[in-house]
Chains A and B, each alone.
Chain A
Amino acid sequence: MADTKTVAPKEGALERSWNWLTETQIWKSVFRHNAPITDRNRVLVVLSNVFLHLHPVRIRKSGVRLRYTWCMGGLSFFLFLTLTFTGVLLMFYYRPTLEYAYTDIVGLREHVPLGIMREMHRWGAHAMVITVWLHMFRVFMTGSYKPPREFNWNVGVIMLVLTLLLSFTGYLLPWDQLAIWAITVGSNMARATPFLGYEGPGASLLALGDVQLIHAADDARFALLGGTFVGEGALLRFYVLHCVGLPLAIAVLMAVHFWRVRKDGGISGPL
């Protein structure tokens, strides 16, 4: 590095060890620049860090204001990361079968001293639903969906739906009364899908002679639950969607979302 060191003008024990540390090969292999207190290093810190480089190097002043952003998008992302972390820990203790699902949750509650992972996961999920809604609310109120950001608004709407689906699929997993009846009430709607649900308008028109094409064991609700009621099939299906399918989908869309924020000119502001 060509520029001069700006840290530690006087030499105490602390400064000496700091200087020694930052000169080691290990440190230098990780951090390619000095402390970000000069303009040059403020650029480098953002550009040379894969996480920070989601940001631009410089940003309009109005765009860093909490009164403009409410930080709701950032908090949604942070809550997603928290949920991923706590979720992975919960997966160590949880088996998605009728035999074990409920008892594993009881075990988690009874046998883990001071455990709050399940609480953090549940309350974090509720909080994420709220922050995502408020993020959409803020984006609408600032007109930030307007050109050139129309497509990114759409990506956001899909992620909003995925957030709700993630929360909905997770709701079943404790396999208690609260869980199965909430999912029963929610998934009963699929029964009424026009044409594709066996109690939906038009489904009875789909028939070959006397043979009904749409019935309780092949309609939209069956596809959702993997059965005609909320049972073992539904538990496994919701578990796989909750832990693998939906998180992967939303992670991909997040990448698109963040990338498009940058490509569409960074955070919105008056033209």
Chain B
Amino acid sequence: MDAIKEFFNFFADPRVFFLLTTGAFVFAVWRRDLFVKPSVGYGLQIFLVLFFGLGLLDENFRLIIGKPDNVPIVGLIFLLLFFTWYSMRQAVLNDQRIANAEPVAEKVEEDRVWVWPDLVYIELICLVLCSVVLIVWSIVLKAPLEQPANAAATPNPSKAPWYFLGLQEMLVYFDPWLAGVVLPSLIIVGLMAIPYIDTNPKGNGYYTFKERKAEITIFLFGFVVLWSSLIVLGTFLRGPNWNFFGPFEYWDIHKLEALTNVNLSEYIWLRGLGVGMPSHWLFRELPGILLVSFYVFGLPVVFARTVFKRYYEKLGPARFYVTAFLFLSMLSLPVKMLARWLFNLKYVVAIGELFFNI
């Protein structure tokens, strides 16, 4: 039993967890014909039921999963996995119909039906079921109420509400001005920009993957892998001092994790050239500033000229550069994660004098 727990603790390590989630995602999209099989979908749900059911036998697991405010996230894991599988399944089935020159499922049913009763009774059933779930949930589980607010007693860890824990997890890799302000704003702007930068007229009003490969892959990566899996990570696997703890691991407040993170400027001036840090911050951080500038301004141009030339011609400059900027902003998180894990990189640009660290 302990061996199994150790096994899951190992896979829950942020590096392994994130790479594994990404890997599973790539596989699910690439071999979607396998992923959408009913046996796979049900198998995943049964695995989750077993994992959570048997996991609850463990005291440490029970402590973190059983926290009343964490219960919705357990629900979210089941629902999100189910709906990812379910929407991909309908997309693949429709793709097969399109390949066979048949109309998609939604096209077959384009006849109109009466709202009363055909829609109203479905709404009524959903509404009743939703009420039942909510009432049972409310009877079974008391809303949490801890000690009265005390500004002098900081809990460890202090966590934001669960839906913001993906953002809090980003604080490991970025400073608050990026993780807490700029990137969340860009998420909102990016979501709002979607209809204007996606000029693909296909796939409007029906499930399909083949006709919208890039759009769906990028969205799923952002929503399922980055946003949602980081919420799960931040809620269940981060304990005191925001250290990593496996799901079956005791939250030891004295757990020490060596912090040996190094700035890019230190890598270059101290380790690379061995000349000591320049005194002025502009000169000191010039390599990092150039690197970030290239990532934000140079890379989109390179993309437009080379690998994504086809997209550039299709979208036009304005749409292409907005898309590239938003896409690179999203990718900045996994890029920074990898840099941290591989090189212990702390900041690419570290201008503490101006609170400007990237």
B-contacting residues of A (Cβ < 8 Å)?
Answer: 36, 39, 42, 45-46, 52, 55-62, 64-68, 70-71, 74-75, 78-79, 82, 102, 105-106, 109, 116, 118-124, 126-127, 129-130, 133-134, 136-138, 140-147, 149-150, 153-154, 157-158, 160-161, 164, 167-168, 171, 174-182, 184-186, 188-194, 197, 199-205, 229-231, 268-271
Sample of 21 A–B contacts (CB below 8 Å): A55-B115, A55-B120, A64-B118, A118-B143, A119-B137, A119-B139, A123-B143, A130-B75, A137-B87, A138-B83, A147-B201, A153-B192, A157-B192, A178-B144, A180-B150, A185-B159, A189-B176, A204-B355, A230-B149, A231-B151, A270-B204
Q: Are the CB atoms of A180 and B126 closer together than 8 Å?
A: no
Q: Is the CB of B148 within 8 A of A177?
A: yes
Chain A nearest Cβ from B349, distance in angstroms: 10
1/0 per position for B313-357, CB-CB distance to A under 8 A?
Answer: 000000000000000000000000000000000000001001110
Whether the pair A197, B195 counts as a contact (CB closer than 8 A) is no
In the complex, which residues of chain A have a beta carbon less than 8 angstroms from the beta carbon of B206?
62, 142-143, 269-270
Contacts of A140 in B (CB 8 A): 194, 216, 219, 223
Which residues of B lie under 8 Å from residue A197 when comparing CB positions? 177, 181
Taking Cβ atoms with an 8 Å cutoff, the residues of B that contact A are: 69, 71-72, 75-76, 79-80, 83, 86-87, 90-91, 103-120, 122-123, 126-127, 130-131, 134-135, 137-139, 141-151, 153-155, 158-164, 167-168, 175-177, 179-182, 188, 191-192, 194-196, 198, 200-208, 212, 216, 219, 223, 351, 354-356
Known contacts A144-B204, A157-B191, A52 near B79 by CB under 8 Å: no
Contacts of A158 in B (CB 8 A): 192
CA of A154 to CA of B195 in the docked complex: distance in angstroms?
9
Residues of B within 8 A of A269 (CB): 106-107, 110, 205-206
Shortest distance between the CB of B262 and any CB in chain A (Å): 21
Given A61-B111, A74-B123: A67 and B90 interface contact (C-beta under 8 Å): yes
Q: How far is the CA of A188 from the CA of B175 in the complex (A)?
A: 12
Contact A70 B83 (CB under 8 A): yes
User: Which residues of chain A are near B161, meaning CB under 8 Å?
Assistant: 167-168, 171, 182, 186
From A66, A181, A270, contact of B154 by CB (8 A): A181
- The residue that B149 contacts in the complex, of A59, A60, A175, A191, with Cβ under 8 A, is A175
Most A-side CB within 10 Å, residue of B72, B103, B175, B181? B181
List the A side residues contacting B223 at CB < 8 Å: 133, 137, 140
B149–A176 contact, CB under 8 A? yes
Given contacts A61-B110, A144-B205, A182-B159, contact A176 B180 (CB under 8 A): no
Q: Do the beta carbons of B205 and A180 come within 8 Å of each other?
A: no
Contacts of A82 in B (CB 8 A): 131, 134
Q: How far is the CA of A56 from the CA of B90 in the complex (A)?
A: 26
- Complex-state Cα separation, A54 to B137, whole angstroms: 30
Contact present for B117 and A186 (CB under 8 Å): no
Which single member of A46, A55, A177, A192 contacts B147 (CB below 8 Å)? A177
Q: Which residues of chain A are within 8 angstroms of B119 by Cβ–Cβ distance?
A: 55, 59, 64
Q: Determine if A68 and B106 form an interchain contact, defined as CB atoms under 8 angstroms apart.
A: yes
Q: Are B114 and A58 in contact (CB under 8 A)?
A: yes
Which residues from B are CB-within-8-Å of A189? 167, 176, 179-181
Contacts of A146 in B (CB 8 A): 195, 198, 200-201, 203-205
Report the minimum CB–CB distance from B209 to chain A (whole Å): 9
Partner of A201, one of B72, B168, B177: B177
**Which residues of the other chain, A, contact B147 by a CB distance below 8 angstroms?**
176-177
Give the contacting residue for B106; candidates A42, A62, A129, A191; CB below 8 A. A62
What separation, in Å, do the CA atoms of A116 and B167 have in the docked complex? 31
Closest chain A residue, CB of each to CB of B123: A74
A153 touches B194 (CB 8 A): yes
A193 B181 Cβ-Cβ under 8 A: yes
A116, B139: Cβ atoms closer than 8 Å: yes
Q: Which residues of B contact A153 (CB under 8 A)?
A: 192, 194-195
- Do the beta carbons of A192 and B113 come within 8 Å of each other? no
B126 touches A143 (CB 8 A): no
A64 to B111, CA, bound (A): 11
Alpha-carbon distance A179/B137, docked complex (angstroms): 21
Indicate if the CB atoms of B115 and A191 lie closer than 8 Å.
no
- Checking B79, B114, B146 against A176 with a beta-carbon cut-off of 8 angstroms, the contacting residue is B146
Contact indicator A71/B126 (Cβ below 8 Å): yes
Residue of chain B at shortest CB distance from A41: B116
| Shortest CB distance B292–A (Å) | 13
Complex CA gap A30/B134 in Å reads 32
Report how far A141 CA is from B197 CA in the complex, Å. 16
Closest CB-CB distance, A240 to chain B, in whole Å?
19
Residue pair B160, A150 in contact (C-beta under 8 Å): no
Which chain A residue lies CB-closest to B356?
Answer: A201
In the bound complex, residues from chain B placing their C-beta under 8 Å from that of A137 are 83, 87, 223
Complex CA–CA separation, A137 to B46 (angstroms): 23
Question: A201 to B87, alpha carbons, bound, how many Å?
Answer: 42
Closest Cβ–Cβ distance, residue A203 to chain B (whole Å): 7
Residues of chain A within 8 A (CB-CB) of B103 are: 270
